[in-house]
Amino acid sequence: MGPKKASSANPTPIRISSMLGIRNLRKKVFLGVGIVVGLILLDQIYLHIWLSTPNTNFQRSLHVDDVRQLLRAGEDAAVTTILYDPVILHAWSTNSHVAAPGACIFLCHVIGPLTFAVTAAQLRDKPMFLSRLAQLGFTVTLFETPEGQQSHVFLMRQGSPLHLVVLHLQSSGFLRQYTLQGPPHNIAQVKQYITKDAWNQMKFDRAYERFSTKEVKIDEVELTVPSNIEAFIEDHQNSQFIPCNESRAAYYNLKYLKDETPYETQFKHKAWKLLAKAKTLMDQLKIPFWLSSGTLLGFYRQCDIISWAMDVDIGVFIENYTPNLITEFEKKGLKLSHKFGKVHDSFELSFKEEDIKLDIFFFYTEGATMWNGGTQAKTGKKFKYVFPAFTLCWTEFLDLKVRIPCQTEEYIRANYGLSWFTPMKQWDWKASPPNVQENGMWPESEWPEVIVVNER
């Protein structure tokens, strides 16, 4: 009987432990689901708060019907309106998974303005568009540049304003957005409805790469957006544009009587071809560069290449250097002329095409300054050229979209002094620049590595 009692007593604890295990599993599943749902709800709440927090005292939110009426006017006039708002595009592209059917998350809580884009060509060729907007109840405020280029349109109807950026296709293939300028009463009228951050974004000219578009649905509204939203947002973050100062160039040429020899004219043509080729190669290698030294001075002072400069100068941050740069340049017929320094110290490359030289100066960051190095081949003497820290902007230089230091004049003053506007044909790279410093010597044992000169 003993064994029977033992066997009859065993099943009960086994069933109890099984039931407890199932209950614990269910609790874990419910807890896990609860956590996921809670995170999604928190994500939605955070998104609502983030999108609806104003930077000014203006509290009126966007009416989605205003967006629908804008799209209706575009359809009636055959004008494509592109959602061009980096904040909303980023929010939607990274959080679209939390949107519930019928919920209005991304558009309904925008505090003005919501930005769209139209092309200047469409706005010019389809004048019915603006009149159709007025017929649909919008107050239309159009801004133009001093040269008469349409630049921005603000639309007021029920909610916070809609903002149309006018994109101008440039001869070198990029899209340009002009800064917001206009009559003071028009500026004052729209500024009261614009958040501080949005207002700061409108103070600059901008340059964008051309892009394709796609149709998406945001908050049940069919919208046209850039096909690659991540690329557009990155482009927007680095889009500030500084045009060449044509008035300064005209004054320079008038004061110093532009008179070039046939040789100088030919040099400028060759130098432009070399810069264009270098840009193509650098873009393919995804290495950002900017105009530097004499090439930057020519751009800033006279919107042109300095005819007696004898070379083309560009700058690159050392962290963007890639070892296959030399190989790729030589594949395209640019022969390495010299290589100085080491990647971590005073690195410099020079290439030649025919008799024109391209100098690539690599820049290092040191505290609040940036510097590039120089090496005297005969002696191994090192030099250092120190600049105030700078950021990069876009410009158009002789039909090329290229970067320049945003703090252009500070950069030039560091390199050429306060008399940078006066042409100087005699220049010693080791002594003339105000920002040059002696920086020691390369040990003679390292010369085969740090001083490479090709005579070919």
Q: Which domains does the chain have, with CATH numbers?
A: 64-241 (3.30.460), 246-453 (3.30.460)
Handedness of CA 112, 116, 120, 123 (dihedral sign): negative
Per-residue pLDDT tens listing for the chain (456 residues): 444 433 334 443 333 344 444 344 444 444 444 444 344 444 444 444 333 343 444 446 788 999 999 999 999 999 999 999 999 999 999 987 776 777 788 888 787 789 999 999 999 999 999 999 999 999 999 999 999 999 999 999 988 889 999 999 999 999 999 999 989 989 988 888 888 888 888 889 999 999 999 999 999 899 999 999 999 999 999 999 999 999 999 999 999 977 788 988 999 999 999 999 999 999 999 999 999 999 999 999 999 999 988 899 999 999 999 999 999 999 999 999 999 999 999 999 999 998 899 999 999 999 999 999 999 999 999 999 999 999 999 999 999 999 999 999 999 999 999 999 999 888 899 999 999 999 999 999 999 999 999 865
What do you get for the CA distance between the two ends of the chain, in Å?
107
Beta-carbon contacts of residue 9 (< 8 Å; ≥ 6 apart): none
Q: Cα separations (Å) of 247 from 251, 254, 301?
A: 6, 11, 10
- Give the β-pairing of 400-405 and 392-397: antiparallel
Q: Cα separations (Å) of 41 from 44, 51, 105, 109, 132?
A: 5, 15, 12, 17, 40
Residue 293's H or E segment, with its range, is helix 293-302
Torsion of CA 128, 130, 136, 137, to 10 degrees: -150
* Residue 21 DSSP SS3: helix
* Residue 336 DSSP SS3: strand
DSSP bridge pairs for 382: 375
- The secondary structure of residue 368, as a DSSP letter, is T
Tally: H helices and E strands in the chain: 15, 21
Residues belonging to the chain: 456
Q: Cα separations (Å) of 349 from 86, 338, 411?
A: 38, 6, 21
